[in-house]
Amino acid sequence: MTLGNAIYDQKLASIYDRMYPIGEDTDQAVKFIAAHTPPGGRVLELGVGTGRIAVPLAGRGLTVHGLDGSEAMLAELRRRDPQETVTAQLGDFTEEGTGQVFDTVTLVLNTFFVAITKEQQLGCLRLAHEQLAPGGRFILEAFDPAPYHHLQKPDFSMRHLDERAVMLDTLTVDRSQQLMLSTHTIVDGGAPETRKHVLRYAFPFEIDLLAELSGLRLVDRSEDWWGTPYTASSLRHVSVYEPDPDSPWPSATAG
C-alpha cells in the first residue's frame, strides 16, 4: 500500500475538498506559486490530491505534473480535470521521483507530515531536490506544531461538510515521537464511518535542517500565501527553498 492509499481511501477522497473549504486561500496560493515559476514553466506538485492547486496552475499556462499515493484522490483529480491539463501519476513521493526536471516543486497543506518518520521526510526532501532545476524553487506549506506539541488530552472538534453531513474529529498527540493521531467519524445519513490517520509534525527549524541535509537552503518564509511576516505567533508557514550550490547532494540536470 502506498503512502496516500494508507490515508485517503475513496470515502475521504470524495469529501476531501469539503474537509478543507479554503477557496480564497487556494486562489492566493496559485498566485504565489505562479509568481515563483517562469512563464510557461514546469511545476511538480507532490501530493497533488484532487488538483485544487494543480488545475488552476495549469490554467495559467504552466506545465503541471502531479504525484500522489492515493488512487482515490487521483480519481477525484480526473473528475475535476477531464481534459487532463495536469499530468498525474501514482507514487510515494518519499521513495520515488518522476525522472523529470521542474522549475518549481510544491508540497502544500501539511502534506509533508504524512511522511511519518524522519527518514521518510528526508527522502521526500532529497527527491524534491533531485527533481528541481538549477535556480528553481521548492515551496512547502505547513502548520506550526507549537500549539499542539503540549496537548495533554484528546481534542474534539466538528466540521460541517454540507447540509446533510458532518465530520467529528478527535486529535491526540504523542510528543515523544511528534506524532498526531486523527480519528474522523463521518455522519452523512448512513451508518457512521470512521477513518484514522497519523501525521509526524516537524517544527520549521527542523524542516530547515532536513532541507539542508537534502541540498536545499531556505530563502524566504512567511506565515501565509499573502506574504505576512512569519513571527513567533504564526500558526502556519509558507517556506521557499532553493538548491544549495555548495551541497554535496546532486541537483537536477536538464535532459
**136, 217, 230, 240 from 237: Cα distances, Å:** 20, 16, 7, 10
Note the pLDDT of residue 19: 62
pLDDT at 5 over 60: no
In 10 A of CB 225, how many CB atoms? 21
Note the pLDDT of residue 29: 96
**pTM exceeds 0.85 for this model:** yes
Q: Which of 85, 207, 205, 213 is nearest to 139 (CA)?
A: 207
Note the pLDDT of residue 252: 59
**Rounded mean pLDDT, 26-42:** 96
Of the pLDDT bands very low, low, confident and very high (cuts 50, 70, 90), residue 67 is very high
Task: Express each pLDDT in 183-199 by its tens digit.
Answer: 989 888 888 888 888 99
Mean pLDDT, the chain, whole residue set: 89
